[in-house]
């Protein structure tokens, strides 16, 4: 180790020794974050399944709140991707079939993806 890293390590060790005395005088409130994955695990049957057609998704979940502009399709190797947004999730279609579903954040305390941009 060089001198800089030894001195940094010494300062860090001194802070660790002093920290328990400081921590006894203070009470710390811990607030847990709500993870989006927890909500997904609670609601597994409420999402479109991979391979469903656009008409099947619309029949089961109703009309989407927004149909975003298609992306891709410039070349034959790049299929067109359509995105439909619902209040709780966004459905991604390759041509006419579901390839993925992404749930959106329910509130500001939940950690997860934000709504898609247009």
52-88 pLDDT tens trace: 999 999 999 999 999 999 999 898 889 999 999 998 8
Which of helix, strand or coil describes residue 110? strand
Handedness of CA 87, 89, 95, 96 (dihedral sign): negative
Which residues have C-beta within 8 Å of that of residue 101, sequence separation ≥ 6?
Answer: 47, 48, 50, 89, 90, 91, 92
- Residue in the block written with tokens 């927004």: 66
- Quick one: what percent of the chain has pLDDT higher than 70? 50
**14 pLDDT higher than 70:** no
CA distance 65 to 87: 7
Q: What is the pLDDT of residue 48?
A: 92
Query: How confident is residue 9, by pLDDT bands cut at 50, 70 and 90?
Result: low
- Quick one: what percent of the chain has pLDDT higher than 90? 36
Q: What is the pLDDT of residue 73?
A: 87
**90 pLDDT higher than 80:** yes
Average pLDDT, the chain: 74
**26 pLDDT higher than 60:** no
What is the CATH T-level fold of the domain 30-111, as seen in this structure? Beta-lactamase Inhibitory Protein; Chain:B, domain 1 (3.30.1450)
Residues in the chain: 118
**35 pLDDT higher than 80:** no
Q: How many CA atoms lie within 13 A of 52 on its CB side?
A: 16
């Amino acid at each position: 180790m060089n001198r800089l890293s030894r001195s940094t390590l010494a300062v860090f060790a001194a802070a660790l020794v002093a920290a328990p005395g400081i921590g006894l005088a203070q009470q710390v409130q811990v607030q847990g974050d709500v993870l989006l994955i927890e909500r997904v695990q609670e609601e597994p049957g409420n999402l479109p399944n991979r391979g469903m057609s656009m008409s099947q998704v619309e029949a089961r979940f109703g009309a989407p709140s927004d149909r975003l502009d298609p992306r891709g399709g410039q070349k034959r190797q790049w299929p067109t991707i359509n995105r439909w947004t619902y209040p709780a999730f966004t459905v991604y279609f390759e041509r006419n079939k579901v390839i993925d579903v992404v749930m959106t954040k329910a509130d500001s305390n939940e950690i997860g993806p934000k709504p898609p941009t247009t």
